[in-house]
Structure 1
Amino acid sequence: MIESEISRDRMQRRLDRLWEIGKTDRGGVTRLAYSEEENDAFEYVLEEISAIDSMAVEEDSIGNVFATTAPEASESLYLGSHLDSVFNGGRLDGTLGVVAALEAIEAVEASDEEPEIPPTLVLFRAEESARFGQAMIGSRGALGLLTTEDFSVVDQSNVPLWRAMQEAGFQPENLSEPTLDLNRIAGFLELHIEQGRVLDETSTNVGVVSSIRAPVRYRFEVLGDYDHSGATPMSMRRDAIAGAAEMITAVEEIGIEFDQDGDIVTTVGDITVSEGAINKVCGELSFPVDVRSNDRQFRDRIEERIVSSLEAIAEDRDLVLNTECINQTDPVELDEDMMEHLLETAESIGTSYRRLPSGGGHDAMNVQRLNIPTGMLFVPSVDGVSHNPAEETSEDAIEDAATVFARSIVDGVP
């Protein structure tokens, strides 16, 4: 029985070891895209893969890794996720998807059951946008979805993506074409913590994802005048911070207002002040805005409302507002047949399960965009915590999700 081959201890050992790679003094992990830490995490997983005699490994020009038990097979079920993280993130985000997929493949190999479709483990690079402001770089490259402009985006140190790839040991090629044989992908499965509270608060071990929200992201630059805080009368100030504070409040208020009409979340997660000081009126700052929805048309309405509202605030305060759209993707409905398959498999192993949407973006959405049958599982985020050192889930849920993946390998996909 496959179920008896799933090892909690092996998964926890791998999760703990990966946690050590990039572990911070605040208990989290920082493994940014194309960093030495991301490279080290890939090397560790490759070492673990090497112990499985049947696995053949390939690496593409931007560092994505594909390990399969049957390289000559005409089709394969792909399973996996990413190993990079946000700044001081949790130990499960992305990493759990790789570890559980490897465990499922390993369990099938150790069992007496023959898979209907042989599996391929996928390790995507650079899923998080923490370094370059661009998400899912690895999966987009593998699927032929990167543009020339994408390679020119820069990080906080003004290092462009193409150079970071080279410094990490890769030679990116023209990725207008996929690095994968798309006809070989019979389906794709990804596991992730929910990053929300639904599963945890309903004591549900496995969530089957129905759709994935997608963001539109902006960077707003607010320009005023630098002045002395003691010598400049209030009526004569062009205070960038005060203006930005009103703008950020407006972003929240618009999200709350339109949340009554449809699926929407609006977030300002950072503010960067240039040359700020306690005794200065601020003259320059920037902040990002993240707007997400499962409904593209509805999101477009909110996007327009936010931009026009911030422009009006800038005009009222005699500030300059520079607006840059840095990322825009479409929401995705995952494959209905794959969803039903995962729901039936979860029921067959006796775990608690439910269907729910994803608030965060994932590599799975890029695969589904190419009409490749894609499914996704969630496990609970304890207290809804994610992208944080306190990120955690239960061992029962991890084992159940890995078992669903193992059974899916053996039973095949719709």
Structure 2
Amino acid sequence: MQALRQRVKADRIAQRIEELAKCSTTERGVTRLSFTKESETANGLVAGWMREAGMSVRRDELNNIIGRYEGNQPDAPALLIGSHLDSVIEAGKYDGILGVIAGIEVVQTLFENGIRPKHPIEVIGFCDEEGTRFHTTLLGSRAIAGDLQEEDLQAKDAAGITLAEAMKEIGLDPANYRLAARDPKTLLGYLELHIEQGPVLEQMNQACGVVSGIAGQSRYQFRVEGLAGHAGTVPVPMRKDALVGTAEMIQAIERIALQYENLVATVGKLSVSPGASNVIPGLVEGTLDIRSINNETRLAALNRILEECKSICERRGLACEFSKVMESPAVPCSSRFIEAISSVLEERNMKSVQIVSGAGHDAMAVAGITEIGMIFVRCKDGLSHHPDEFATTEDMGMGASVLLDVVLKLTS
């Protein structure tokens, strides 16, 4: 195993990531939305590298790119390795991409050294995890998990194009989306390698860590309605200022969130109307995002926040309405996979630090049909979803080596 891991080619990983970064509609960062010319070009590159690594390649019914490396027992359940190939607007180069390219590198290392494990290995480049184009996340992995719904096909992008229409444009029949679903009996498990998107590993001065689980999310839109008025003539005590009320709500959200361990709460977007310097704000619309690895904690904090916001608005004579956008429970990683990854980290003289992922990943959807495990790789300043997102070639090589060792433990 020691000799084999030394043959992982970190420079090849870095070079391929650079090539994929060119598949972008923007010069600043990477903008590669699903079912576009840029995503099709990226899929072509990935498919070519999969074939170079000794895999057969297919595109499934939702445009996930899947490479399969047969094992000594082709009928044995397959180990899946994957991540996504789409991006947010002006993203970095590594989010999602590193997991796909590292998976290919693991298989290519096995192939170049004539090694066939017992179990087949499949590397998946998921078509749409971010939800940037159609505002519906985890499209590719939900299809594989059998959780995609017919109504998802009618989700529209900013130009009014539906997912179904976008699929047709690249030669897919949206009526066949259910055929992408995988039979759990044919799967050994799922591994995903990803940049951490946080600061823990950098603070520890360690290249890799093991993910213990993915935080659950509660996402809401809210609307606070007061009364617009002249900024110069309405006395402050008599105002029904929607923005001032929202500001107090945001402070309450922060105060409540600080009272819970392993919980975060974010008001990430606000829209103020009428939006004039000499008019008292009469309407504020915004978003609330709450996450925790503990579902009971998240729901308890959410209920307190909703009650407190309602109380603030009643006291100020404001109308307040919260509408649920998404409710996603926390997803624990498999204890068996955590132990396998932890043992490899210790063999590599690293601490088996367990990190909760506050960000969502394709693993969340795949967990519905098989065991999951995740490996984090250190990224500079914990920065992600930004053009300055960065992971060193050495750390990417270490991550691929850890992934290789885990794959051998699970498939031999």
Q: Report if TM-score (shorter chain) is over 0.5.
A: yes
Measured in 2, the distance between the counterparts of 1:303 and 1:409 equals: 39
Matches within 5 A, 1:232-311: 232-235=234-237, 237-256=239-258, 258-259=259-260, 262-273=261-272, 276-311=275-310
Matches within 5 A, 1:304-383: 304-350=303-349, 353-370=352-369, 372-383=370-381
Q: SS state of the match for residue 353, structure 2?
A: strand
- The change in CA–CA distance for 1:409 and 1:214 in structure 2 (over 3 A counts) is same
Shift of 1:349: 4.3
Q: 1:404 aligns to what?
A: 402
Measured in 2, the distance between the counterparts of 1:321 and 1:159 equals: 33
Q: SS state of the match for residue 38, structure 2?
A: helix
Matches within 5 A, 1:138-177: 138-156=140-158, 159-167=161-169, 169-173=171-175
Measured in 2, the distance between the counterparts of 1:57 and 1:274 equals: 52
Q: SS state of the match for residue 188, structure 2?
A: strand
- The change in CA–CA distance for 1:317 and 1:124 in structure 2 (over 3 A counts) is same
For residue 389 of structure 2, the aligned residue among 388, 391, 402 is 391
2:43 is equivalent to residue 46 of structure 1: no
Shift of 1:97: 0.7
Which blocks of at least 5 consecutive residues in structure 2 are unaligned?
none
Q: 2:22 aligns to what?
A: 20
Measured in 2, the distance between the counterparts of 1:126 and 1:202 equals: 32
Shift of 1:202: 0.6
Shift of 1:313: 2.5
Q: In percent, how many aligned pairs have the same letter? A: 33
Shift of 1:98: 0.9
- The change in CA–CA distance for 1:316 and 1:32 in structure 2 (over 3 A counts) is farther
- The change in CA–CA distance for 1:86 and 1:411 in structure 2 (over 3 A counts) is same
AA aligned to 2:317 is: D
- Structure 1 segments of 4+ aligned residues over 6 angstroms from their partners: none
Could you report, residue by residue, the CA deviation over 1:132-179 in whole angstroms, capped at 9, with x for unpaired residues? 443212111111112344444444555544444445553323656752
- The change in CA–CA distance for 1:116 and 1:346 in structure 2 (over 3 A counts) is farther
Q: 2:122 aligns to what?
A: 120
AA aligned to 2:192 is: E
Measured in 1, the distance between the counterparts of 2:392 and 2:283 equals: 45
Measured in 2, the distance between the counterparts of 1:341 and 1:296 equals: 26
Shift of 1:78: 0.8
Q: How many residues align?
A: 408
For residue 4 of structure 1, the aligned residue among 3, 6, 9 is 6
Measured in 2, the distance between the counterparts of 1:154 and 1:281 equals: 35
Q: Is the 8 A contact 1:196 1:381 kept in 2?
A: yes
Q: Is the 8 A contact 1:22 1:31 kept in 2?
A: yes
Measured in 2, the distance between the counterparts of 1:158 and 1:235 equals: 45
Q: Is the 8 A contact 1:92 1:193 kept in 2?
A: yes
AA aligned to 1:98 is: V
TM-score, normalised relative to structure 2: 0.89
Which blocks of at least 5 consecutive residues in structure 1 are unaligned?
none
Q: 1:135 aligns to what?
A: 137
Matches within 5 A, 1:175-186: 179-186=181-188
TM-score, normalised relative to structure 1: 0.89
Shift of 1:43: 2.7
- The change in CA–CA distance for 1:10 and 1:38 in structure 2 (over 3 A counts) is same
Measured in 2, the distance between the counterparts of 1:112 and 1:67 equals: 17
Shift of 1:278: 3.1
